[in-house]
Structure 1
Amino acid sequence: MHLDMSTVLGISFWMYLLFGITSLPWGMLADRLGPRFLLFLFYIGSAVSAMAAARYVNSPSALTISLAALGLFSGIYHPIALGMISREIRQVSLAMGYNGMFGNVGLASAPLLTGLINWIWGPAGAYLLLGGMHVIGAAMTALLPITLLSETTEEATETSENGNLSAFLILLVAMMLGGIAYRGATVVMPAYFELKNQGVTHFFSMMIGRELPGNLVATFTTSLIFFIGILGQYAGGRIGNRFEPRYSYLVFHAITVPAAFLMGLFHDVPLLILVFIYTFFLIGMQPIENTLVALFAPKRLHHSAFGTKFVVTFGVGSFSVKMVEFVEKNIGIEATFPVLGGVSVFLVGVILYLIHHTSKNPEQPAQ
């Protein structure tokens, strides 16, 4: 399509926005109606939207609408799935870690598969593959039984039901800032690596004896980075299950700050090392964060709580796409990660306040 970076970001904006802001109404529906039907709707709606994107891939306006619909239906997944995990499984942090690991298999595979399919069949092929995978998911959801213990057993005690509203609101601010950092990083990574990893591209081209497209190497690198995130998710799930989750959350985010600032100064192999560190901890904190949501939110409203989380992380966080677009056009793409590092500095401050706010009674979230 030969579109510049700012135009691509503009086309994807509504998808990211709707992906986030629809999470709360989807979560509220799940708390009232249950999660089963909504899981099926997620797969069917996403399949139709992806196939529409394949059909209109050469029309920027129609592609924008198709991707917006994809974001709308994709917003169903997180509040429904994470709410089910938090209500049905005892070792919440560990389960969140495993869920995140499989999610990151998808994140890691997507750039690589998309790059390869785009190289061979063009962008429409990538959207057709996505639609086909959602059709398979819809079939599995319809055919496989889902038994929810919360529908057949008594609810937990009143104390564990109440949560801690003030702590949850503070956590929402932290998650919003984390969403800005995460979305900004994932959006800019492929273009950033294509620009800053030219030495790596040249090395692999020499190794195989033919010139490789820079975008193919960049998408492969992005996939590798998300595989590092899988290890981070596993570590985060284990650590959040063993240690106090508030302090674990603080440490994981604090480590991302120096890595983000240094990423603006290096290229090729040193840059990759820094990105591995950044991604390991930025993605690895997610099971810990989800454990804190489950800890502070009322259990009867867990779907809505996770929906609220993704409104602020992916909905408000989607404005980082506009922020990255502004930085790229006015300062340069090299400044994007230092700017995201500045966001993480504020995030660490909010987590410190959360720890202070809850320090009087850390063992009992309900007051």
Structure 2
Amino acid sequence: MNGNDRSIVGLTMLAHGLVHTYELSIPIFVSIWLVEFDVIRLVGLEVGVTGATLGLIVTAGYGLFGLGALPGGVLADRVGSRPLIGACLFGMSGSFLLLAVAPGLVTVTLALLVWGAAASVYHPAGLTLISNGVEERGTGFAYHGIAGNLGIGFGPLATALLLLVLGWSTVAAALAVPAVLAGVYAVRAEFDETAAADADADARGDTGVASLAEFRSASRTLFAGAFVVVFAVVMCSGLYYRGVLTFLPNLLADLPGFEPIPLSALLPGVVAGGDRTLNPERYFYAGLLLVGVVGQYAGGKLTDRLRPEYGLVAVFTALAVLAATFLSVADAGLGPLFVVGALLGITLFAAQPMYQATVADYTPAGTRGLSYGYTYLGVFGIGAAGGAIAGAVLTYADADALFAVLAAIAVGGVGLTLFLVRGPDGARATEV
């Protein structure tokens, strides 16, 4: 890669890793907030804190993360990627600083909303920047994906390690620092955003949408065809993803073998803040996310070798089986739980390159950018409801019911993808 490529890829890797660091550190804080806060006080009203109420709060932030993808894509075309990436990084830093001083869940909610709005613009801006500015585009996308997965795994791990010695508010403040430093770099870095755009008109990320009327027309065209089924498939993926991850640390904490371990027992003679403990569930959660790197790689390789719909049928089937057996396997001991946890992490993230390729297969090139905007809306926006669903089920039923719901979502994904497999080949845009 040339110098311009390296500058762009370096920035997008940094920003992508941080977006997912914050995204998946939130569930670790959820397990703390369930204990830390008893009620939500707003304008004289008091509402008890349960998994259901906290699920709604987290869903609000995650929902904006997805809902902002469409306007983020439009803004990326209008004002360029650099200012949006800078705003994303500074906004995420500010949201975690607000989280650090939150006296209650109302402020926590506001902080998560700020985070969701700020983070939402990253994916359309970052992907547009790589498409338009990087000559070795494939390599740029590869490094970009790797950085995202590293953030997915190491972000929660870093959060868990910091919580060994610091309170959650201090940890939130510490996590705000990398984003503000990255924001300064985004503003100061020198690169040409359109260096690779002149040779390839499609690389400019043009969705063919220049007005509200064209946006409506292109959207109607997309959803009049097989893309409506693809959109339902990615929604299933997003609902399962958020539904299983939002309360996973809290669920694991109740399993045998995940009892808190006093730091004094591990580090005798070392003062570690009195009653501070090591919480094994946080490290299991981080490890599950780390093995997702394997899933991303395997999913991408399989997508190059077979129709992605076949891969998605296999992935959704595996996710249904894993949801149906997760708790019974967990009761069999830590060894089997580690195996099923690793399989869950690999399978969960293997879906991503497969549905991304499926979107490309079922959409014309002229509306590809708009198609991916809707994809992120489905995965991260509508999919965010998975957190609220999980919170409600855990509050009014139990973990068995939650995993049954997750299995049903995965079975729905199997059915929808089989519909694509059995549909006419002409529905696939790349074959027209």
Question: Shared fold (TM-score greater than 0.5)?
Answer: yes
**Closer, same or farther in 2 for the Cα pair 1:124/1:303, shift >3 Å?**
farther
Amino acid of the structure 2 residue aligned with 1:45: G
CA RMSD in angstroms, aligned pairs only: 3.3
CA–CA separation in structure 2 for the residues paired with 1:209 and 1:335 = 39
CA–CA separation in structure 2 for the residues paired with 1:315 and 1:361 = 26
CA–CA separation in structure 2 for the residues paired with 1:217 and 1:106 = 20
CA–CA separation in structure 2 for the residues paired with 1:79 and 1:175 = 17
SS of equivalent to 1:64? helix
CA–CA separation in structure 2 for the residues paired with 1:12 and 1:132 = 22
Tell me which of 169, 185, 189 is aligned to 1:124.
169
Match of 2:159 in 1: 114
**Closer, same or farther in 2 for the Cα pair 1:301/1:11, shift >3 Å?**
same
Q: Give the deviation of 1:247 after TM superposition.
A: 1.9
CA–CA separation in structure 2 for the residues paired with 1:5 and 1:215 = 24
SS of equivalent to 1:266? helix
Q: Is the 8 A contact 1:80 1:303 kept in 2?
A: no
TM-score (norm 2): 0.74
Q: Give the deviation of 1:79 after TM superposition.
A: 2.4
**Closer, same or farther in 2 for the Cα pair 1:103/1:182, shift >3 Å?**
same
| In the alignment, structure 1 residue 13 sits paired with structure 2 residue 71 | no
| In the alignment, structure 1 residue 193 sits paired with structure 2 residue 252 | yes
Gap runs ≥5 in structure 1: none
Match of 1:180 in 2: 239
Comparing 225-234 with 94-103, which one deviates more in the overlay?
A: 94-103
Q: Give the deviation of 1:314 after TM superposition.
A: 1.4
Match of 2:230 in 1: 171
Match of 1:310 in 2: 376
Q: Is the 8 A contact 1:168 1:297 kept in 2?
A: yes
Amino acid of the structure 2 residue aligned with 1:193: L
Amino acid of the structure 1 residue aligned with 2:120: G
- The alignment of Structure 1 onto Structure 2 pairs a total of residues equal to 362
Q: Give the deviation of 1:214 after TM superposition.
A: 7.4
Q: Is the 8 A contact 1:183 1:317 kept in 2?
A: yes
Q: Give the deviation of 1:5 after TM superposition.
A: 5.1
Q: Is the 8 A contact 1:194 1:214 kept in 2?
A: no
Match of 1:225 in 2: 288
| In the alignment, structure 1 residue 68 sits paired with structure 2 residue 113 | yes
Sequence identity of aligned pairs in percent? 23
Q: Give the deviation of 1:181 after TM superposition.
A: 0.1
Match of 1:260 in 2: 323
CA–CA separation in structure 2 for the residues paired with 1:251 and 1:130 = 37
| In the alignment, structure 1 residue 26 sits paired with structure 2 residue 89 | no
Q: Give the deviation of 1:20 after TM superposition.
A: 1.4
Q: Give the deviation of 1:72 after TM superposition.
A: 0.7
CA–CA separation in structure 1 for the residues paired with 2:90 and 2:104 = 23
TM-score (norm 1): 0.86
The higher-RCO structure (CA 8 Å, 6+ apart) is 1
Amino acid of the structure 1 residue aligned with 2:176: G
Q: Is the 8 A contact 2:69 2:373 kept in 1?
A: yes
SS of equivalent to 1:199? coil
Amino acid of the structure 1 residue aligned with 2:257: G
Q: Give the deviation of 1:133 after TM superposition.
A: 1.4
Match of 1:242 in 2: 305
Comparing 235-244 with 161-170, which one deviates more in the overlay?
A: 161-170
Comparing 246-255 with 274-283, which one deviates more in the overlay?
A: 246-255
Comparing 336-345 with 301-310, which one deviates more in the overlay?
A: 301-310
Aligned pairs for 1:322-361 within 5 A: 322-360=388-426
**Closer, same or farther in 2 for the Cα pair 1:213/1:8, shift >3 Å?**
farther
**Max Rg structure:** 2
Q: Give the deviation of 1:35 after TM superposition.
A: 2.3
Q: Give the deviation of 1:332 after TM superposition.
A: 0.9
Match of 2:91 in 1: 45
Q: Is the 8 A contact 1:187 1:321 kept in 2?
A: yes
**Closer, same or farther in 2 for the Cα pair 1:205/1:272, shift >3 Å?**
farther
Q: Is the 8 A contact 1:201 1:214 kept in 2?
A: no
Greater helix proportion: 1
Q: Give the deviation of 1:343 after TM superposition.
A: 0.3
Q: Give the deviation of 1:85 after TM superposition.
A: 5.1
CA–CA separation in structure 2 for the residues paired with 1:87 and 1:242 = 27
SS of equivalent to 1:153? coil
